[in-house]
Amino acid sequence: MKILVTGGCGYIGSHTVIDLIEEGFEVISIDNFSNSHESVQNVLSSVSKRAFKNYAIDLCNLESTKQVFEKEGKIDGVIHFAAFKYVDESVRQPLKYYQNNLNSLLNILACCKEFKVKQFVFSSSCSVYGNAKLLPVDEQCPLAEAESPYAQTKVIGEQIIQDFVKAHQSKATLLRYFNPVGAHPSGLIGEQAKQGAPNIFPRLTATLRGKYEEFVIAGNDYPTPDGTCVRDYIHVCDIAHAHTLAFKWLSQQKEDSLCEVFNLGSGNGVSVLELVKAFQEANSLKLNYSFGPRREGDVIAIYADNRKAKELLKWEAAKSLNEMMQSAWEWDKKIHTEAI
Ligand SMILES: NC(=O)c1ccc[n+]([C@@H]2O[C@H](COP(=O)([O-])OP(=O)(O)OC[C@H]3O[C@@H](n4cnc5c(N)ncnc54)[C@H](O)[C@@H]3O)[C@@H](O)[C@H]2O)c1
């Protein structure tokens, strides 16, 4: 089966490409390198031991996107990762996010319709839940008012796909990721965003490399066991493998117009303070940290009820927090000592 992965050179996309190839799929990608590096193509070829083909085009350009479908012939399914992903930036530049994330989705769906591609997997996010009342949060939880234009593109994206699936007798899964971290065991792929990522790990590792004097934990007066926010960290390889399983599962479903939502989280709530301690322990390091004020828009606590993905997709979040912390630090050291 041939799968088109969009954003296949990005963080989660690149891990998924490897997983799909290992499971016997033929994979092509569309990625314009707006947040990834051209060198990832060669790395993916060498890790997978196959020539990996990426089309460096912008999905917001419908004509170029169509040409890929025309050139490639039969495509059995699309896994759509390509999007901009920074919450803070989306607040400052909402149009950039609505334009890129929604136009690319509309164009890829238009191609699916025209070229009769019936299986679609979408990268959504736990940000659609906002501050959930009941934890762990399951897929039935009503969606909250989006906290940012980024989260809003995921809410709207899910809705667009639900409507599309109904109208065009397709099948889709909406995968709501919690907090992906870590890197591939080969040591050759990991997160290497073009733009300095404002997430917790890049700040934490930059502190260890001496860029900041201390790592400031935003808020320690939340109503959580140690006062810091609680998140659900999940190894990127586990997230990647869930896509392969979701695609296989979709292929087995006989029903037309099927759209199923799955949470992809470990199911464990880990506080930011616990994360910092786990990181130090896993890597035998000492990090200078302190507590600062809360950050606007931060959800207090969220972690997944992942039973649906376990039951239907036969998926397990197999890798431990320790493995996440070690591989994240190994990868960070590598990209800061070598020009990849
Ligand atoms: N990483 C996370 O913490 C996280 C959490 C929840 C959801 N997600 C979602 O998962 C998906 C993948 O995230 P990621 O962390 O791998 O991000 P990423 O930025 O590493 O990868 C996205 C890739 O898409 C490409 N891209 C973006 N817009 C494009 C366009 N118009 N045309 C062609 N290529 C384009 C970028 O160059 C990049 O390589 C995104 O949809 C993101 O919103 C990520």
Is residue 157 scored above 90 in pLDDT? yes
Catalytic option among 11, 55, 129, 150: 150
The whole-number pLDDT of residue 269 equals 97
Mean pLDDT along residues 169-173 = 97
Mutate to test the pocket of ligand 1, among 6, 12, 79 (most ligand atoms within 8 A of CB): 12
Q: Delimit the domains of the chain by residue range.
A: 2-182+233-265
Using alpha carbons, select from 319, 264, 307 the residue that is nearest to residue 122.
264
Which of the four pLDDT bands, split at 50, 70 and 90, describes residue 190? very high
What does the buried/exposed string (b/e) look like for 182-212 if buried means 16 or more CB atoms within 10 Å of the residue's CB? bbbeeebbbbbbeeebebbbbebbebbeeee
Which of the four pLDDT bands, split at 50, 70 and 90, describes residue 196? low
Is residue 237 scored above 80 in pLDDT? yes
How far is Cα of residue 78 from the mean position of the Cα atoms in its chain? Answer: 15
Higher per-residue pLDDT: 205 or 24: 24
The whole-number pLDDT of residue 145 equals 85
Distance CA 97, CA 105 (A): 12
Is residue 251 scored above 80 in pLDDT? yes
Residue listed under structure tokens 């109208």: 167
Mean pLDDT along residues 117-139 = 94
Residue 152: exposure state from Cβ atoms within 10 A (0-12, 13-18, ≥19): buried
Q: Token digits for 169?
A: 């007798």
Please name the fold of domain 2-182+233-265.
Answer: Rossmann fold (3.40.50)
Is residue 339 scored above 60 in pLDDT? no
Contact, 263 vs 308, CB < 8 A?
A: yes
Mean pLDDT along residues 3-19 = 98
Q: What is the 85 CA–ligand 1 centroid distance (Å)?
A: 6
Is residue 37 scored above 90 in pLDDT? yes
Is residue 52 scored above 80 in pLDDT? yes
Report field, pTM of the whole predicted structure over 0.85: yes
Active-site residue 150, yes or no? yes
Q: Token digits for 199?
A: 């997430």
The whole-number pLDDT of residue 131 equals 85
Q: Ligand 1: which residues within 6 Å by Cβ?
A: 7, 9-13, 30-36, 58-60, 81-83, 85, 100, 104, 123, 125, 177, 180, 193
Atom of ligand 1 nearest to the CA of 127: 6
Using alpha carbons, select from 202, 227, 224, 225 the residue that is nearest to residue 215.
202
Mean pLDDT along residues 210-217 = 92
Q: What is the 11 CA–ligand 1 centroid distance (Å)?
A: 7
Residue listed under structure tokens 């004509």: 63
Mean pLDDT along residues 11-34 = 98
Residue listed under structure tokens 């041939």: 2
The whole-number pLDDT of residue 340 equals 45
Q: Strand locations in the chain, DSSP E?
A: 2-6, 26-30, 53-55, 77-80, 119-125, 171-177, 179-181, 215-218, 230-231, 233-235, 258-264, 270-271, 289-292
The whole-number pLDDT of residue 338 equals 66
Kind and range of the H or E run holding 34: none
Is residue 336 scored above 90 in pLDDT? no
